[in-house]
Amino acid sequence: MAALRLPAIALLTVAVLFGIAAGLGGYTFVYARGSSYLTDDPAACANCHVMQEQYDGWIKSSHRSVAVCNDCHTPHAFLAKYYTKALNGYHHSRAFTSGEFHEPIQIKARNLEVTERACRGCHADIVQTIDHPVQTLDPISCIRCHDSVGHLK
Amino acid sequence: MPRLGGTPEVTKRRRLFLILAAAAVALIAAAGITALLVNIFTRKQEARNPFFRVATLTEETVDPAVWGKNFPSQYDGYRRTVDMVRTRYGGSEALPRTPDRADPRSIVSRSRLEEDPRLKTMWAGYAFAVDFREERGHAYMLEDQTFTERQRVKPQPGACLNCHASVYTAYRKLGGGDIFEGFAKLNAMPYAEARALASHPVACIDCHDPETMQLRVTRPAFLEGMRALKASQGVKDWDVNRDATRQEMRAYVCGQCHVEYYFRGSEKRLTYPWANGLRVEQILEYYDREKFDDWTHAETGAGVLKAQHPEFEMWNQGIHARSGVACADCHMPYVREGALKVSDHHVRSPLLNVARACQTCHKWPEEELTARVHIIQERTFRLRDRAMDALVGLIGDLKEARKRGKSDAELAVARDLQRHAQFRLDFIEAENSMGFHAPQEAARILAESIDLSRQAQIALRDPGFRPREAQPGSDAIRRIPSSSSP
């Protein structure tokens, strides 16, 4: 041990600390079922129970056999999809950890746009004749009327 | 020897600093991740444990504090019904009061009689004309009834306690386990004697089964009233606790008390007048057939009725009932406690809790939703005001006609119309929502009340006048007659 000088001991301590942080982080990730959030499994969205009603509603909805949460709530392109997941993941974990969020939960403007696009993604044949031809006007909202197709509330 | 990057001394120090900084970062990261881990653990535990059974609850456990040991969140909300908050047309405001021997209350709510003296005219000769205040929260129901001046003007029966105290255990004690037997005994007692049997305002056991926590109706008057109502609809032998759905129960437990009622016969049996239906004219028809008067109006001599908080009946006529929305959905909406959801036992006006009460279904801003309610209430309030003026006008005319020596036979038509106009007005006046529970129905009832009061005034002036009464069931949805019908 005498051969070890001060910087070596310090380096070792740092390495151990990083190891602890990495270990804790890894365990937390597994314990919190972190990997489930990378999947398309709708049950993952109700992990923390905040979206239990939406999940329950989806199970009984007309879209349950053709679309899961991610089909309507994330863009369909790979990068955009995981960017949206990461962004929402950050907002949702911060909200649920701190407990500070509006109840009942409300969709944000960006996510609403994602959903509106998703409607058009599948139903383009029908809605292209309905949508405003003049693109400067606000586009017609699909879910303002069809608010229970995915899940009620 | 000078080198790039400074002396060996300086390089050493810089290296040490870097190592320390890295250690600090790793330390903070580890601490942060641990905190997150603990938070996730807590949330998971919250979701897993709905309750701990630390106290044993039986059919004899009346004290809510004991139930509160098992259900602290619900108990916490329940205790908050002491709050006195005003909404535009309801709620209550605390007024200081000097306690005396007869009434030890140091805080009361405002007198509605002082706010609108026309109520005294409407209720002339009845105890309500002496003392009537803003309704306070559940926590006050027992003391406000015990100490109201109405008790001193006219001795009240034990039947009053059915809905001003937790009497389920008292029923069982009096009836030897049979609540119907106990109910009959309690009704017939003098108030003071019955009051001695009660120690709490409405409590957990009045709505919950102590074993399963399922909702349960414990008031015989509601069980009998619903049986009569269902029988009138062709459903035989209907039992609330056996046949109602979970969602219906979330309205029925409230309907145990928030209803129109009367005390039948000398045994003072608390009865809900629903044998013809829940609408105001169906209830009136029931009273007319029973030849029941609450009292004789002191100024006009008419046999009149007092309507009492018919929230259940009015809700039944509205869009929310039709859509399957129960009382508890708006008055006890779910609140989140961590990962758990509990229904808010702080029963109160949805206007004080718009986000949870309304926005769960109505996705519009709070201000807009509040404004919509206020429009409905203001319209109802203005109509109520006109109906009150019409009734007070009629009472003045009747009083005058009596003074001029008109006979009972000559006054009979106008008196009958007063009875019907007054009950309609009181039905909306006594109902705690200022029309919101069923806006169009409230407007219809008030419009008919105004019309009946004015018809009575015509009848006093013109003996040949044949009044046109609103017929029971006249607003029922009619089938469009087919072309082949005569």
The verdict on B254 and B223 lying in the same domain is yes
Residues B175 and B236 in one domain: yes
Residue A114 or B341, more confident: A114
> Taking CA atoms, what residue in A is nearest to B13?
A7
- Would you state the pLDDT for residue B407? 95
Same-domain check for residues B385 and B319 = no
Does B233 share its domain with B154? yes
Distance (Å) of CA B160 to CA B83, B103, B163, B194: 24, 18, 6, 9
Whether B110 is covered by a domain: the verdict is yes
Is the pLDDT reported for residue A134 higher than 70? no
State whether residue B18 sits within 8 Å of chain A by CB.
no
Confidence category of residue A3, pLDDT binned at 50, 70, 90:
low
Q: Which residue has the higher pLDDT, B486 or B452?
A: B452
Check CB contact of B10 with chain A, cutoff 8 Å.
no
CATH number at residue B123: 1.10.1130.10
In a domain, B185, yes or no: yes
Residue B108 has a pLDDT of: 92
Find chain A residues with C-beta within 8 A of B26's C-beta. 14, 17-18, 20-21
In chain B, % of residues over pLDDT 90: 80
pLDDT digits over B249-270, tens only?
999 999 999 999 999 999 999 9
Across A58-67, B51-60, B220-229, the highest mean pLDDT is recorded for B220-229
Residues B381 and B244 in one domain: no
Chain B residues touching A52 at Cβ < 8 A: 341
pLDDT of amino acid A104: 86
Mean pLDDT of B430-439: 97
Does residue B344 share a domain with residue B203?
Answer: yes
State the total domains in chain B.
Answer: 2
Q: Residue B171 above 90 pLDDT?
A: yes
Distance in Å, alpha carbon of B45 to nearest chain A alpha carbon:
11
Kindly tell me if the per-residue pLDDT of B376 is higher than 80: yes
**Domain identity same for B91 and B178:** yes
- CATH number of residue B451's parent domain: 1.20.140.10
Contacts of A148 in chain B (CB under 8 A): none
B89-113 confidence digits (pLDDT tens) = 998 888 899 999 889 999 999 999 9
Residue B42 falls inside a structural domain: no
Q: Which of A4, A5, A12, A13 to mutate to test the interface with B (most CBs of B within 10 A)?
A: A13
- Evaluate if residue B33 carries a pLDDT over 80: yes
The reported pLDDT for the residue numbered A14 is 86
Instruction: Tell me, yes or no, whether B90 lies in a domain.
Output: yes
Confidence check: pLDDT of B475 > 60: no
Specify the higher pLDDT residue, A13 or B173. Answer: B173
Yes or no, beta carbons of A14 and B338 under 8 Å apart? no
The reply to whether B194 falls in a domain is yes
For A23-42, how does the pLDDT look when each residue is reduced to its tens digit (9 = 90+)?
999 999 999 898 899 899 99
pLDDT > 90? residue B234: yes
Q: For residue B433, what pLDDT band results from cuts at 50, 70 and 90?
A: very high
Q: pLDDT tens digits for B323-339?
A: 999 999 999 999 988 76
Flag whether B408 is in a domain.
Answer: yes
pLDDT at residue B12, rounded to an integer? 78
Residue with the two structure tokens 């009273």: B287
pLDDT band at A4 (very low <50, low <70, confident <90, very high): low
Average pLDDT estimate for B50-57: 84
Residues B278 and B327 in one domain: yes
Q: What percent of chain B has pLDDT over 70?
A: 94
Query: Is pLDDT of B476 > 60?
Result: no
How close B280 gets to chain A, by Cα (Å)?
Answer: 35
In this structure, are B123 and B270 located in the same domain? Answer: yes
Give me the mean pLDDT over the B421-434 stretch.
Answer: 97
Structure confidence at residue B49 as a pLDDT band (50, 70, 90): low
Residues of the domain holding B197: 64-349
Assess if residue B95 is contained within a domain: yes
- What residues of chain A, 39 to 78, have a C-beta less than 8 Å from chain B? 48-50, 52
B172 within domain boundaries: yes
- For residues B223-243, one letter each, b for 16 or more C-beta atoms within 10 angstroms of the residue's C-beta and e for the rest, the string is bbbbbbbbeeeeeeebebeee
Question: Are B402 and B345 members of one domain?
Answer: no
Kindly indicate whether the ipTM for this predicted assembly is greater than 0.85, answering yes or no. no
Q: What is the mean pLDDT of chain B?
A: 91
- Are A153 and B34 inside 8 Å of each other by CB? no
Task: Please say if the pLDDT value at position B455 is more than 70.
Answer: yes
pLDDT at B8: 74
Sorting pLDDT into bands at 50, 70 and 90, what band is B354?
very high
Q: What pLDDT, on a 0 to 100 scale, did the predictor assign at position B352?
A: 96
Q: Is the pLDDT of residue B14 over 90?
A: no
B255, B322: one domain? yes
Point out the least confidently predicted range of B83-87, B293-297, B383-387: B83-87
Note whether B328 and B419 are same-domain residues.
Answer: no
